Structure 1
Amino acid sequence: MRIIGGQYRRRLLDFSDGAGLRPTPDRVRETLFNWLGQDLPGWICLDLFAGSGALGFEAASRGADRVVMIERDLQAAGTLEKNRVVLGASQIDILRADALAWLANNRETFDLIFVDPPFDSGLAEAVLADLARHLKSGGYAYIEHGTHVVAPRGFIIHRSGRAGRSHFALLIKE
């Protein structure tokens, strides 16, 4: 997996394919960050279901002040930590936890939350139901999963697209 923009641009990172990970493709990440305006200076981001870390590492590369990555799988979390060290990305915090349990107990708010759970898991709907309280006013949520994205109450769909079987959307908190 390679980072496509920012200070870590063109850096190649390893990811554990044993955990069934499918990093967000370069083309989709490029589209997302075009929608967001390329750079994220001062932003606080949350990468739930971090997996390969493609979205979180990309946000850090583009100037986010802090990126919190949540990953349950031990092997995937270890690879995330290895990549964080290789990049020298001290603005990234990697937490090994269940995303839903962590979210239920968290009181912090974020400028941007990435929600890209395991494909066809149905976990996106569970997260979307409680996402508004974790975003700052005017904050963004990026959703990627196997079905058409429907904006939950309190959000509007800013942009959306599809790549293969994956549907993705950038939501704005009203």
Structure 2
Amino acid sequence: MRIIGGKLKGLRLNPPKNLPVRPTTDLAKEALFNILQNQIEFEGITVLDLFSGTGNISMEFASRYAEKVTSVDRSIHCVHYLKDASRQHGLTQIETFKADVFKYLAMETEQYDLIFADPPYDLDKIPTISKVVFERNLLKPDGLLIVEHQSMQNLANHPSFVEQRKYGHSSFSFFKHPTDEQ
């Protein structure tokens, strides 16, 4: 795993082997950030990283000068790793929370420019992530929700669905407020 852009470009991340994660591959992450680079200005955005795991995505956004990155994971080991790595590399805009993502979303009131969710692929509640985000109005009006999931899964039945991009066994589904230009 490595940071592919921004002030920490090229930094190799070496999380402990015992973390309960399935990190986004460098290939998929690079493709995702190439897409995003053409759609958003990273500097100054607020990001919510759900099921943050190693913090690979949180650190990528922070490296690209996101103003605030909120990372949520239920594993205390993942939260500690991300806190330590953020501190070590001066990424002070990353704030970590140990919490069940759905309980966190039920209580969250802040709106974000971008929400990224990388849940365990076997989680049966993946389709409810977009439902909860839009019901709770957690995206700013021009915000973007991205859910990483297995390519065979289809999340297109949500009214805010925009597109799905496939990268091998992984896919990214993109969601925006229905009133946005698509």
What TM-score comes out, normalization by structure 1 length?
Answer: 0.91
| Displacement after TM superposition at 1:60 (Å) | 0.9
Match of 2:172 in 1: 168
Distance in structure 1 (CA, Å) of the matches to 2:47 and 2:58: 8
User: Paired residue for 2:16?
Assistant: 16
Q: Is the 8 A contact 2:130 2:145 kept in 1?
A: no
Give the Å deviation of 1:103. 0.6
Could you tell me which of 45, 49, 52 is aligned with 1:50? 52
Instruction: State how far apart, in whole Å, the 2-side matches of 1:138 and 1:144 are.
Output: 20
Q: Which residue of 2 aligns with 1:84?
A: 86
1:37 maps to what in 2? 37
Structure 1: which amino acid aligns with 2:111?
T
Q: Does 1:148 align with 2:153?
A: yes
Alpha-carbon distance between aligned partners in 2 of 1:92 and 1:148, rounded to the nearest angstrom:
30
Using the alignment, how far apart are the partners of 1:131 and 1:151 within structure 2?
15
Q: Retained in 1: the 8 A contact 2:164–2:171? A: no
Q: Which residue of 2 aligns with 1:135?
A: 139
Q: CA deviation at 1:23?
A: 1.1
Where structure 1 has 5 or more consecutive residues not aligned to the other structure, the ranges are: none
- For the 8 Å contact 1:158–1:172, the answer to whether it is kept is no
Output the CA distance in 1 between the equivalents of 2:138 and 2:100.
16
How much does 1:159 deviate? 4.9
Query: Cα distance 1:55–1:152, how it changes in 2: closer, same or farther (>3 A)?
Result: farther
Runs of 4+ in structure 1 off by over 3 angstroms are 151-154
**How many residue pairs were aligned?**
173
Q: Any conservation in 2 of the 1:14–1:83 contact (CA below 8 Å)?
A: no
Bigger drift between 86-95 and 140-149 goes to 140-149
CA distance in 2, matches of 1:42, 1:32: 19
Q: Report sequence identity in percent.
A: 32
8 A contact 2:45–2:114 mirrored in 1? yes
Point out where structure 2 has 5 or more consecutive residues left out of the alignment.
none
Gap change, CA 1:152 and 1:7, over 3 Å in 2: farther
Normalising by structure 2, report the TM-score.
Answer: 0.87
1:61-140 counterparts in 2 under 5 A?
61-132=63-134, 133-140=137-144
Question: Would you say the 8 A contact 2:72–2:101 is kept in 1?
Answer: yes
Range moving further from structure 2, 83-92 or 151-160:
151-160
Query: Over aligned residue pairs, what C-alpha RMSD do you find?
Result: 1.7
Name the aligned partner's letter for residue 12 of structure 2.
Answer: L
Distance verdict in 2 for CA 1:117–1:170, change over 3 Å? same
1:73-118 deviation per Cα after TM superposition (whole angstroms, max 9, x unaligned): 1111111111111111001001111111011001000010011011
Q: Relative to structure 1, is the Cα distance of residues 149 and 138 closer, same or farther in structure 2, using a 3 angstrom cutoff?
A: farther
Which amino acid counterpart does residue 135 of structure 1 have in structure 2?
A: L
Q: Distance in 1 between matches of 2:123 and 2:157?
A: 18
